[in-house]
Each structure stands twice: as C-alpha cells, then as structure tokens.
Structure 1
Amino acid sequence: MLKNYIKIAWRNLAKNKGYTIINVGGLALGMAVTLIIGLWVQDELSYNNYNTKKDKVAQIFQSQTFNGETGTGPAIPRPLEKAFRDGYMDNFEYLVMSSWTTSQYLKYKETSISREGNFMQREAPEILDIKILKGERDGVREINSIMLNESTAKALFGDEEPIGKVIEVNSQYDMMVTAVYEDLPFNASFNDTEFIMPWDKYVSVNEWIKNAEDQWGNNSFQMFVQIADNTTMESVTSKILEVKQKLNENSREFNTQLFLFPMKDWHLRSNFENGKQAGGRIKYVWLFGIIGGFVLLLACINFMNLSTARSEKRAKEVGIRKSIGSQRSQLINQFLGESFLVVSFAFLIAVLIVVASLNGFNNLARKEISFPWSSLAFWGVSLLFITVTALLAGSYPALYLSSFRPVDVLKGTFKAGKHSGLPRKILVVVQFTVSVAFIIGTVIVMQQINFAKNRPIGYDKEGLVQIPTMSQDFTGKFELMREEFINSGAIVEMSTSSAPTTNIWSNRSGFVWEGKPEGFQEDLAWTEVSPEYAKSLNLKIVEGRDFSREFPSDSNAVLINESAVKYMGLKNPIGKFIKDDDEEDPSPPLKIIGVVQDMIAQSPYEPVKQGMYVFDKYGNSSYYNMRLNPSQSASQNIAVIERVFKEHFPNIPFQYDFVDEEYAEKFASEERIGTLSGIFTALAILISCLGLFGLTSFVAEQRTKEIGVRKVLGASVFNVWNMLSKDFLKLVIISCFIAVPIAYYVMNGWLQEYPYRVILKWWIFGLAMLGALAVTVLTVSFQAIRAAKSNPVKSLRTE
C-alpha cells in the first residue's frame, strides 16, 4: 500500500509540473532560510560551550552609582584580589586576575608578529579550559614563561619545536614558550586570547600596577573565578555583595555592588541598565528565530493554499476511492504521505541551497558556521523538522480532501461551498501581514543606522590613520618620528594619544572645580594627548585656544569638550581650574584653556561622554595619529610611512588602521542585522508571491470558460484583469492594516534602547504598504493579463 501511495503521489506531482515547482520551490526556500537561521541560532546559543566548566565560571562585575545613574561593568580594583583570597576562597575553586586583552609584538629570530592576549595568573588554563597540545598545563607558573595558541606558534616557529624557545616581547623582555594550546573556537569569548603571559610579569614591568595594590579607586583590572562545587552563583554573589564597602568606607558614596556575572550570559545577556541585567544579543536570537518560524510558515501556507485550491481536481479520485471501500483514515494517510514526499524533496533542495550559500552567509554574518554533516543530533532534529513541517503543511489539505462525500462527487453535484475559499483568504492575509511587517522592520533598522551614520562626529575621520605604539622602542621618539614623517611628505600632521580615536580607555573622578555642586559625583573620560592632537584630527576649538608648544605652562593645561562644559555646569570655562581632591597627594591643578567640539569616541547611538584632553607630560602614548597628505593617494602615503617606520623600527611589524574603517565598525553589528533582515524579508516576499502566483494561475484556470464568455460579450482586458485581481488586492490591503500597528509597536519598543534614535514617520509605513501592493499587482497581473488575452474560442469549445 505504501508503494502505491508513493506512486500516486509521484504521478500527481509529475502531472502538475507548474504546481509542483511552485510548491517544492517555495517550501525549499522557506526550509533553507529556516535551516540557515537555525544554524545561526545554534551557534549563538552554543557560545562558550567548548568550556566544560561553563556553568561554574564567572567574571566579577561591579555597579557604581553616579548622580542617581548606575553603571555596570567588569573593571575592578586590584585590592579586591587580596580581599577575596583572605576571606572568601572557600567559595572559589580558582581565582584569576587578568589584564585586558591587548596586542603585543612577539619576535623570534627574524620573524616579528603582532598578536592579542592576556596577562593572567597561573590558574588561567583551568578557567579557560584550554586543551594543551604541547608543554605544561601550568605554563605560566614562572615569571618569564608564555603560552601560545597553535596559530601563533605556527606563525612564529613554522615547523620548529616551540617548547623551550625564547621569544622577545615588545623589544622589552624575553619569554620562554612553556606550552602550546589548541586555538579556541570562533564562538568563544576568549577566542582572541592568542597568548597567555604571567600576571606577575605584568606587575613587574608596570610601576603603576605595583602602586595599584592598595588603590581601591583604580578600576583597571579584570577578575575571573570558578566557583566551588558545593555552592552557586547566587550564593557567592550574596556573600561578596558588600565586601568593598566593608574594606573601604570611601567607596560608600558610589554605592558599589559586586556580583558574579556567569560565563553562560557573557555573550547573549551582557547589557545592563541602571544596575540591572537588560538582555543583549539574545534579542537577535529571538528575532531571527521568529523570522525563521514565520518564513517556514509562509512556505507551509503556500502548500495548504495550493493543495486546497486544487481540491476539485482530485474530488473524483476521492469519490471513487471512497466508493470502493477506502476509509477516511487511509485517505488522510495518503495525503499526508504526499505531503511528506514533497517536504522531503524540498528538504534535500534546501540542504543544497544552504551548503551553496553558507560561505557567503558566514562572510555576511561574521561567523564560522559549518554544515553539521556528521552530527547525529542535527539529522535527528532534521527528521523531526521534516515530520512537523509535513504535518503542518499537509494536515489541513488531508482533512479537507478526505471529507468529500462520494455521492455528491460522482453525481457531479459536488461544489466546494460558499465559504470554501475563506481559509485560503485568511492564509493569504497572514502571509502578507508577515511580509509587510518584515518590510517595515527592515526599513526602520536601516533608517536607524543611517540616522546614526549621518550624525556629526566632531572630527575629520577621512585620511586619518593611527599606528599602535605598544613597544618600548617608541619611548622618547615622538618628536623625531613626527619630523621624519612630515618631511617624507606622506603626512601633514601627527600627534599622540593614550587611547584610539574611536574609543575611551580611561575614566576618572576625584576632581573639584569652582561651582561644583555639593555631593556631585563626577565621571569624566580622560585622554592624554600631545599638543598637535586637535590639529591632526581637525578637531574644532569652539572656545579658547589649543595646546601650544610656545607655552610651557600648557603641561598643566586641559581641553574639555562641550558635553563636559554642560556636565560640570561651567558658565565661562576658559581660565577655570580643575583640581585633584586628594588632599594627601594632590596633582597640580589643570587650567582649562579651550573647549573642543564634541567628538564621538564610543557608541554613535549614545550621547557624547563628557571628556578631558590632558597634555601628555610623560609620553604615555598608545597611538600615533597621522593626517595623510591629501594631495597624494592613500596607498602612496602608506607606502612612504611604512618605509620610514621600518628605518627606525626594523624589529616591529608595521601596523596601521584607517580611522574611518574603525568608526564604520561601530555600525557593523546593526548593519549585519539589517542586511540579514533585508535578505530574509525579500525571501519571505518571494515565497508569498510564489503562493499568490500559484493561486492566481489556478483561479484563472478555474474560470477559463467564464473569461471566454465575458470576452465574447465584450469585456476588455482591463475588465478581466480587474475581475481576477481585485480579490487579492483586497486581501493585501487588509494585511497592510493589520501589519502596520504590529510593526509600529515592535519597532517603537526596539528603538527605545537607543538614546539617539530616529523618529518613526508615517511615510515609512505608507511606503511599505505601497510596496506590498505593487508586488501583488505585478504578481497577479502576469497571470490575469495572460488569461485576459487568451482566445475565447479555445475556452468555449466543447470538451
């Protein structure tokens, strides 16, 4: 019997090729989209799954309240380590202090490379749960040891044995390779940790870190922990919640709260608002999961619509089968079997589409997803996916077709019924409601991105290049290099800064100034710069003057931005002093000599942070900022800069970044979401149009004789087009009016997350509605006009 069912199903599919292509093609597209989204969602949800201790690993976070607003982050003070080790170690299996992930120059013989990594305490391999390929697991036990990941070891040593080899770091100190570990997966928080060096080395080579041992106000470090087996995250958090206040009464003014932030939340739930966890990338997982579900639903709706629409074609078959004894359950099984066959065939095509498009999708989504050919779990889920889709797509047609009465069918008195088309109309409305909502959502996402992109950034990012200066080789050479680079003709100005142009690396408090309100808790971005900083960035001085080498007193001068003027409540800022409120060891007061235009250094969706630009007295620069010569090409300028750089720093790899490209990265996440949403929206509309095309074809075929009679009686092509199109246009208009309020509610909620956001305007919704109607008209018109132009003689002749 099963064999017969398959034969009948195959013959029906082969007999109606157009119907089959639309049905299988639509399903395949819908399933391919759902599969790709499913792989993306699985990749997101499996972040850090490589770590078998994921549920026990956490990072110490703290919340501090400034003027009623609570900020939360991972930066902690160094004395916290001693406090935890002295009083709380029974709660922890491991506790590891860490630097931030930074780039370092690694050199072996003639090979010099730049890699990112961390200085961490010796238990780091346990918390990171890394797999040692060569050497010791306790690889950072000794102060002059270094652990490399496999890729870095390969880049430095090639086929040589790395263990025991000595490499030079930043032209400053030598380190011995004690271990090589397997590269961490792409979807791991420590993926960019390409080396690990001892925390003790970090302390020994940086005087400021030694001094930070008792500085509770210096939040410049990270701490990772693995909790003990006999406790929980919540339990440990409750114990450490007020440790800082107990040990340092001065911290009470900021109402500091410490807590454990579990590794399982690092990637998907990393946003905090006013001290409370407020989601994160999990919203995109939900978003794409919903999109995938709806796209698959659209494909299933096509199947249902076309199957029920063609029911009269199979009415006699049902009648004959019932009259010779077929039970309704047998007919249901047959039609569900046909559905399963179509879905299985569509799934095979979907797999081919996914495999062919996966590389492009990875490039677009910035992922390294591979098709899970060897995963039994994947194929098990796929079988369930096929079964559920077959049931979802085939259940209504099966129940509907099997309900026909054989007497009515065989006597020729069978009629589909006055309201038989109602379910199809409802499904078409659902299809286009989803499609129109997708269109509106995609337009608003792209509008928000463009709104932020068009925001004035306060400086000229075009033709601006930055070079990291992390090696000791750069110390004391700024004046020489500035002169060399300018004389080369490749640049017109150069400066140094303690942070990149596109970020803020340091925030400070503990200042007093004239007119400071009582109890005001300040939080100011702090950047140390050379006198040429504003000139190299084309940063506008809106009040006062810039730094000048002609004024020795400028070593104690400061520039502040417009946001700082408002934040500090300064009426006439020029000439005012900002003083250190540390009475025991005060720094010299800083005289405000100028106000610069606000420049966006952090998120372009957030207000500009109040900031200070301080004269760099001690050469603590992290970057050279260069303004390229506009009269020459960028490639020509870079070639000259590289030549001059290599003349003075032959042992350091030449690295540079275009600031405009770095700034563009701030939009990368939203742009990827917008682009992916756009692609999925286009596919959703395509699937909906395929279904509409199929339905129009069937209606035109069903009303062939009616069209012939109307044409003989004088109906024009427009009259026939109007007759076939108006019902579908009505359904799409209904869809639009349902989709608009839904899309408004969802997207207005999404925009609330951005302080700097676009205002929703009526034309966005109107444009989406017009677009949906235009697509509908084009889709329906092809078949309608074709039917209207057909020869009535052929349709009216005797069968």
Structure 2
Amino acid sequence: MFKLNFKIALRNLWKNKGFSLINIGGLAIGLASCMILLIYVAYEWSYDKQSTNHDKTYIVYQNSVANGKTFSWAWTPNVMANEVQEKITGVKYASHSTYPSGKLITVGDKKISSKAIFADLNFVKIFNYKFIKGNPQQVLKDANTIILTKSFAEKLFGNEDPINKTIKLENQDILKVSAVIDDVPANNSIIFDCLMPWALFEKREAWIREGNWGNNMCLTVVQLKENAFFAKANAEMLGIYKRNQKGNTAEAFLHPLTKWHLYGDFENGKSVGGKIDQLRIFLLLAFCILLIACVNFMNLSTARSEGRAKEVGVRKAIGSSRKSLISQFLLESVLLTFISTVLAFILVEISLPYFNNLLNIKLEIDYSNINFWIGLLILMTFTGFISGSYPALYLSSFEPIKVLKGFRVKTDSSVSVRKVLVVGQFVFAACLIICTAIIYQQLNYVKNKPIGYNKSNLVQIAVQGKMADQVKLALLKSKLLKSGAVSDVTFFSQDITEHGNNTTDVSWQGKNAGESILFNNGGIGSDFIKTIGTELVAGREFLTNSANDTNSVMLNEAAVKMMRLENPVGAKIRFWGNERVNVGVIKDFVVESVYQKVAPMIFFPSSTWGAAAVIVRINPNQNISSSLETVDELVKEIEPNYPVNRKFVDESFEVKFQDEKLLGTLSNWFGGFAIFISCLGLLGLALFMAEQRKKEISIRKVLGASTGNILTLLNKDFIKLVAIANIIAFPVAYIIINQWLSTFEYRVSISFLPFALAIVISILIAILTVSIQSIKVAKANPIDALKYE
C-alpha cells in the first residue's frame, strides 16, 4: 500500500508541475528561513555551556545603590575569590581573573597583539579547557609561564612544538610556554589567546597585592559542589562586603554562568532579561514563517480540490477507506516537505556566509551532531503533518456518489477556511512591516540624536609601551601638530566610546548624609574640548603643563545637576580622598549607552593618572589616507616595538547599535520572506477563486464587461481580506513594539506612518499578486468556458 501511495504521490506531483513548484518553493523558503533563525538561536543559547560543570558555575555580581538606582555589574575586589573559597558553604572552586585585554606578544621578529587574561589555577579547573599539550595540574604555578590557545600558538611558532619555548610579554617579561589548549569557542563570554598566572599580574602591578574591598577590578567565578548548595551560598554572599569593610553597602550575589550572556540586563538588582528577549523574537519569527509556509501549502492543496474530486470518488468506490486516503495525502505532503528540505539546505548553505558576515559570527551546520538530525526529523515531520493535515481531511471527505454524478464539490466551507488562513498570513506580514519600520525609526532617531561632540574625522590611538611616559606623549603631540596631518590632539584615560571607571567616592558641601552618587571619571589632556568638538559651559579647561591643576577637576552638566550646585565653578569637591577645586563645566557628551541619559562625570588632568588613548582630529584640508600614514609613522617613531592600534571614533560608535541593527536587518529579511510566502498563499486562493468563477466571468464578458470591470470584481474580495488583516494586526503590532520601545529612555513616539505603510504595502502586494492570475482569466476567450453549456 505504501508503495502504491508513493507512486500516486509522485505522479500527482509531476502532473501538476506548477502547483508543485509553488508548493516546494514556498515550503523551501519557509524551512530555510526557519532553519537559519533556529541555527542562530541555538548558537546564542549554547553560550558559555562548553565546560563540563557549566550548570554549577556562577559569576559573582555586585549590587551597588547610587543615584537612587541599584547598579549591577560583574566587577569584584581581588580578595573576593579567597573569601568565597574559605567561607561560603558548598564552594568547590573560586577563582579571580582579569577581563581579556590587549597585550603585545613577541617571538623573534613576530610582534602580535593578543587578547590576554591573568588568572589562577582554579580558573582552568572551573572551565576545564581541553589541553592539547602540557600538564593541566602544573600550569599557572610559575609566575613566568604562559598558556597559549592552539591557533595563537600556530601564529607564533607555526608547526613547531611550542612547549618550553619562550615569548616576551610587552617587551618586558620573558615567559615560558607551559601548555597549549584548544581555541575557546566563539560563543563564549571569555575569549582569549593566552592565559597567564595571577602571580605575574601581581608582579607587574604592585597595587594588586593590596587587599581592597572598595576596589572592584576583576572577575570572580565560583563553582559549587552541587547546585543544592546554591540557596545557602547565595544567602551567605549577601553580607560579604559589609563583613569585610565597614560602611561598604554593596551586596554580592551569584549569577549563573549559563545566564551571563542571555540575561545580562538588571533592574533594581534583579535580572530582567537581555539577549534572551531578542532570541524569543527570532524564535517566534521562525515559528511564524514556518506556519505561514504550511498555511500556504494548505491553500494551494485545497485549491486543487475539484481536480482531485473524481480521483477520491473513484478510489472510494473501489473500496478505499478514508483512513487510506488521508495516509496518501499526508504522504504527498511529507514527500513535498522532504524535497523542500533538500532545497532548503541548499538555500541555507548559500545564505550562511552572508549572515555570518552580517552577524560577525560563524554559524554552520554541524552534520556530525546527532541532535541536529533528530531536530531536523522533528521539524520535517511537524511541517509535513501540519501542512498536509487540513488538505488530507478535506479531500478525503468527498462523497463518491455526488462527485461521480458530476455534482460540483461544495466549496463554501473550504473557501472560508482559506480566507481565514490568508488573513492570518497577512496579519503576521503587516505586524512585521510595522515593527520593522518602527525599529528603523528608533535606530535612526538615536543615531542622529546629538551626542555632545563631533565624531567625524576623530581618531583614537591606543597608548602602548613607551607612549605612556608623559614626556613621550607631549613629544608625540608636538610632532603630530607640526606635521599638519591633524588639526588637534588631546589625551583621554579611556576609550571615548566605551564604559570606563566609576566611583562613589565623591563628596561636596551640601551633599545629603548617606547619599550615594555614582560618578564616571576620566583623565583628560589639554585641548580636550576643542579636539572632540564639545563645549565649555562654564569656567576654564585644565592648564597645559601646569602643576597648579593637579588638584583641579571638571564636571559635566549631569554632575552639576545631580550635585545641585548653584555655583559650580570654584566649588570644593573631595575626590579620591583629596580636596579639589572644580574649574569648569563641560557639556554632556555620550560615553556609555546612547539610549540612556548621560551619567554624572568628573574629569581630572590625564597627567595625574595616565592616558589610555591619544585622540586626534584628522586635518580636513589634507588627504585622509596620507594623513593616517603620517600619524602611523610618528607613533612608530615614539614606540617602534608595538603595532599602531588606531580606529575611527565613528566606526567604534557604530558598535553601540549592533543589537538593534541586527534585529532590524533580520526582521527586514525574514519579514520579506514571510510576505513572499504569503503572496504565494494569496496566489493559491486567487487561482482557486478564478477557477470557480470562470463561467461567471465569461458570461459577464459576453454581456459587455471590460477587463477593468473583471479585475475590479476579482480584486475587491482580496482587498477586503487584506484590510481585515491590517485591522487585526494594528493593535497586536502596537502592543509588541510599545513593549520593545519601553526599554529605552530615548525613544521615538509611535506615529500613524508605519501603520499607513503597512496598509499601502500589503494592499499593493495583494493587488499585484492577484492581478497576475486575474488578468489571465479576464483575457481568456469566453467560448472556452461556455462551450459545454
């Protein structure tokens, strides 16, 4: 029986090539879209789950109340790990490490910038990295050793065995390679090229040796013996700051490693989501696109009902049961799904390089993974049975006597169901159009919102090696200005586009007792305001090369407002234990999130702390390429041992919009696919309706109706369906997009424009799709339809 049904299914597919191609194409695009989205969701979902005991591993977070809010971050004191290891119940390992940072590694003539981490032995035990060479029990004990990843070892030593060979760190420390580990997977929150002992960190930075509960400077990772200890361990973490430092009001808590990437947003000290919200949207999008493809299949299959009515009648007359007919139609559906899946694989493999480039990650299909094949089988079975269920039940319900006597198949109910399905498709399509339009409005609004400085032609150069010397920096500034390649030069203690240091150790006359205000802080050089293109609101800048300004500070507008200073210039401010004088007020400019209000910020002369970046404005009157070459040459003159690390500020600034751009772009692409599949469903309904009304149209033409009259008649019903879909979609889209916008302090207001756009686009698509078939029917010779009457 199966063999017979299979042959019949193949014959039907071949006999109705047009319908088969539309069905296969629609399902293939739906499956391919669904698969790409699911591959991306699976990639993000597997973040930080590579280690054996990832489910028992936690990141130590701290909650700190300031500015009337609770701030949460994974920065902790260097003494946290030992305290947790010794005094918290159920802890197997506790480790501290630095976050990955750029370090110069030299081997012979090779000088390579790397992502490096300083950590202790417990760090390796917690994440149980796969060791290719070396003894996992002996690494990180000797301060002058280093662990390399496989790819980084190949960069440094090629095919040679790197064990016991030496490298130079930052042109200072000679380190021996003690081990080589597998590369850290890209979907990991802690990615590095090399791992060095914490003892080496203490050797290089003397201040690290001091135990200070007020200095949050590293990452602390904890592994529990069993998760049964979690509740008690987390309760004991709450008072750890207070127990070790009088007056420290911060609270510590354990955040699961597996939620670190996906649940990174906190409000009032509680995790409220993060990347997981975007994954939910993509998961819903994948399901809806697949459902639309299945609905499209149903529409096209039932549209052929009259053509298959006699086949069903004959088969029932010779003894076929309804069960066997349902089996046959489901088999046809599964066969179509299988062919569509093969085509979908081809589309996915072609599309993945583009999406990898778009997402800046490496998505791939793991054909060797048994879970992938199980998931694919479930997806195929689900698609095949869902798409084939209604056609199988509907087609197998025909009564053989009525069909074989020549009575027309009653189609009212099937048409109604198809209309409902088409409305459902366009509800989703209209929602996507509205949401995508508002996402782009929000992105453009924030990108074009004034940020407080001019980032055009602004370049940052990382301070490395000898450049950190104040005399060398002054010399570099002088040479850059004399070269004419740049018009202005200044220094900053951090990357101007990234979050930097912050502190609550700021007090002033009039501050309320017990009030905690969190200030961002940064060191700035002379000509800072002119170079970055911001404004001096009041007072003056720091004096160039003046010892009198070592105890001076400057504030931004947000700090003045938060401190409630009526006369900010000249105000005495206690900062880092010293009394200082505010000499000026700088206009607010964006350093952290462009979606949030500018935080209070206090500035000090960069010479008192050290500069991390040289900021230059490229001379607009000179050729940019030659100016950059000149800048690179001058930097190399000052520090020839390091590769020049420079970047345009506007390019770095674009990273802030990465998530929103990703959401908008993927919504745009897959929304387009969903609309295309919906058009195929609409085309299926148009084919059916045109077939049903063929004789009516012919009679109308004989009686004098024009082609325009016929097109209006056929399009009118479909426009009604699309209009109904938009009416349903509007409140749904409004609720979804309003919820998304509520996460931003700066956001666009929801206007009628995106809704009008959805109406225009969906109606135009409907008219164009239906007219393709309608014109064909309207221009047909009436004799062909009426010659049997």
TM range (shorter): over 0.9
- What is the CA distance between 1:717 and its match in structure 2? 1.4
Q: CA deviation at 1:639?
A: 1.1
In the other structure, the counterpart of 2:65 is 65
CA displacement at 1:53 relative to structure 2: 1.2
Residues 460-490 of structure 1, C-alpha deviation per residue, up to 9 Å, x if partnerless? 1111111111425532310111112222222
Work out the CA distance in 2 between the residues paired with 1:683 and 1:468. Answer: 44
Which residue matches 1:235? 232
SS at match of 1:754: coil
Superposition RMSD on alpha carbons, in Å? 1.7
How far apart, in 2, do the equivalents of 1:122 and 1:631 lie? 55
Amino acid at match of 2:106: K
1:249 aligns to 2:213 (yes or no): no
Q: How does 1:166-245 map to 2 (within 5 A)?
A: 166-190=166-190, 192-211=191-210, 213=211, 215-229=212-226, 231-245=228-242
Match of 2:374 in 1: 380
Correspondence for 1:558: 553
- The verdict on how the C-alpha distance between 1:473 and 1:456 changes in structure 2, with shifts beyond 3 A counting, is closer
Change (3 A) 1:794 1:403: closer
> Which residue in 2 is equivalent to 1:498?
493
Corresponding residue number in structure 1 for 2:457: 463
Q: Distance between the aligned counterparts of 2:228 and 2:8, measured in 1? A: 62
**More displaced stretch, 267-276 vs 490-499:** 490-499
Maintained 8 Å contact 1:170/1:472: no
Counterpart selection for 1:539 from 534, 539, 550? 534
Is the CA contact (8 Å cut-off) linking 2:452 and 2:589 kept in structure 1? yes
Matched residue type, 2:150: E
Against the structure 1 CA distance between its residues 457 and 710, is the aligned structure 2 distance closer, same or farther, given a 3 Å change threshold? same
Q: Greater CA deviation, 264-273 or 126-135?
A: 126-135
2:258 pairs with one of 264, 270, 273: 264
Map of 1:589-600 to 2, 5 A cutoff?
A: 589-600=579-590
Deviation at 1:4, TM superposition (A): 2.0
Higher mean C-alpha deviation, range 555-564 or range 542-551: 542-551
Superposed CA offset, 1:760-779 (max 9, x none): 11222121122111111111
Q: Is this contact kept in 1: 2:433–2:754, CA < 8 A?
A: no
Q: What is the CA–CA distance in structure 1 between the aligned matches of 2:75 and 2:733, rounded to whole Å? A: 39
- CA distance in 1 between partners of 2:635 and 2:607 (Å): 24
| 3-state SS of paired residue (2:747) | coil
Is 2:277 aligned against 1:280?
no
CA separation of 1:420 and 1:59: change in aligned 2, threshold 3 A: closer
2: distance between equivalents of 1:525 and 1:482?
26
Secondary structure (helix, strand or coil) at the match of 2:232 reads: helix
- After TM superposition, give the deviation of residue 702 of structure 1 in Å: 3.0
- What's the counterpart of residue 357 of structure 2? 363
User: Match for 1:240: what amino acid?
Assistant: M
Give the corresponding residue for 1:37: 37
Per-residue deviation at 1:85? 4.1
| Mapping 1:363-442, distance limit 5 Å | 363-442=357-436
Query: 1:105 matched to which residue of 2?
Result: 104
Bigger mean CA offset, 682-691 vs 558-567: 558-567
For 2:85 and 2:788, the matched residues in 1 are separated by 97
* Cα drift, residue 607 of structure 1: 0.8
Local SS of the residue matching 1:278: strand
Structure 2 counterparts to residues 9-158 of structure 1, below 5 A:
9-88=9-88, 91-137=90-136, 138-158=138-158
1:703 aligns to 2:693 (yes or no): yes
Post-superposition Cα deviations, 1:242-296, rounded to whole Å, max 9, x if no partner, equal: 1221222311xx3x22111111111111211111110111112211111111101
Distance in structure 1 (CA, Å) of the matches to 2:238 and 2:162: 44
SS at match of 2:414: coil
- How far off its partner does 1:646 sit? 2.2
Q: Find out whether 1:788 has 2:787 as its counterpart.
A: no
**Is the Cα contact below 8 Å between 1:309 and 1:695 reproduced in 2?**
yes
Residues 104, 470 of structure 1: 8 Å contact kept? no
Q: How big is the shift at 1:555?
A: 2.3
Question: C-alpha distance in 2, partners of 1:693/1:6?
Answer: 27
Q: Tell me which residue corresponds to 1:685.
A: 675
Q: How far does residue 83 in structure 1 lie from its aligned partner after superposition?
A: 2.8
Tell me if the contact between 1:171 and 1:472 (Cα under 8 Å) persists in the aligned partners: no
Q: Unaligned 5+ residue runs, structure 1?
A: none
User: Retained in 2: the 8 A contact 1:269–1:279?
Assistant: yes
| Corresponding residue to 1:772 among 747, 762, 775 | 762
- Asked if structure 1 preserves the Cα contact closer than 8 Å seen for 2:303 and 2:687, the reply is no
**Quick check: 1:485–1:641 contact (8 Å CA) kept in 2?**
yes
- What code does the residue aligned with 1:676 have? L
Give the superposition deviation at 1:133.
Answer: 1.4
Q: Distance in 1 between matches of 2:68 and 2:617?
A: 41
2: CA distance between counterparts of 1:461 and 1:792?
69
Identity %: 38
1:635 lines up with 2:629 in the alignment: no
- SS at the partner of 1:55? helix
Farther off after superposition, 151-160 or 605-614: 151-160
> What is the CA-CA distance between 1:699 and the residue it aligns to?
2.0
Which of 512, 516, 519 is matched with 1:517 structurally? 512
TM superposition shift of 1:143: 1.1
Q: Secondary structure at the match of 1:724?
A: helix
- Residue equivalent to 1:667: 657
Q: TM-score by structure 2 length?
A: 0.97
Contact in 1 for aligned 2:330/2:392 (Cα 8 Å): yes
Is the CA contact 1:172–1:471 (under 8 Å) kept in the aligned structure 2? no
CA distance in 1, matches of 2:83, 2:324: 74
Distance 1:85 1:11 in 2: 71
Q: CA deviation at 1:71?
A: 0.9
Deviation, structure 1 residue 786? 2.5
**Are the counterparts in 1 of residues 56 and 227 from structure 2 also a CA contact under 8 Å?**
no
Moved more, 420-429 or 161-170: 161-170
Alpha-carbon displacement from aligned partner over 1:329-357 (angstroms, at most 9, x marks no partner):
11111111111111111111111111111
Answering whether residue 626 of structure 2 is matched by residue 626 of structure 1, we say no
1:343 aligns with 2:333: no
CA contact (8 A) 2:443 2:661 kept: yes
CA distance in 2, matches of 1:246, 1:42: 42
For 1:680, give the aligned amino acid: F
- In the alignment, the residues of structure 1 paired with residue 482 and residue 160 of structure 2 have an alpha-carbon distance, to the nearest angstrom, of 42
Instruction: Give the one of 478, 482, 488 matched to 2:477.
Output: 482
Contact 2:90 2:225 in 1 (8 A): yes
One-letter code aligned to 2:606: D
SS in 1 for 2:213: coil
Contact 1:171-1:473 within 8 A present in 2 as well: no
User: Which of 546, 565, 568 pairs up with 1:570?
Assistant: 565
Residue type at the aligned position of 2:491: T
Deviation at 1:164, TM superposition (A): 1.7
Aligned length: 787
Partner of 1:530: 525
Distance 1:82 1:225 in 2: 11
Shift in Å, 1:231: 4.3
Distance 1:151 1:75, change over 3 A: same
Q: Which amino acid in 1 is paired with 2:692? A: Q
Structure 2 regions of 5+ residues with no counterpart? none
Q: Point out the more displaced range, 237-246 or 426-435.
A: 237-246
Which amino acid counterpart does residue 168 of structure 1 have in structure 2? K
Q: 1:363 to 1:262 in 2, by over 3 A?
A: same
Distance in 2, matches of 1:69 and 1:291, equals 35
Instruction: Identify the match of residue 737 of structure 1 among 727, 732, 738.
Output: 727
Q: CA deviation at 1:551?
A: 5.0
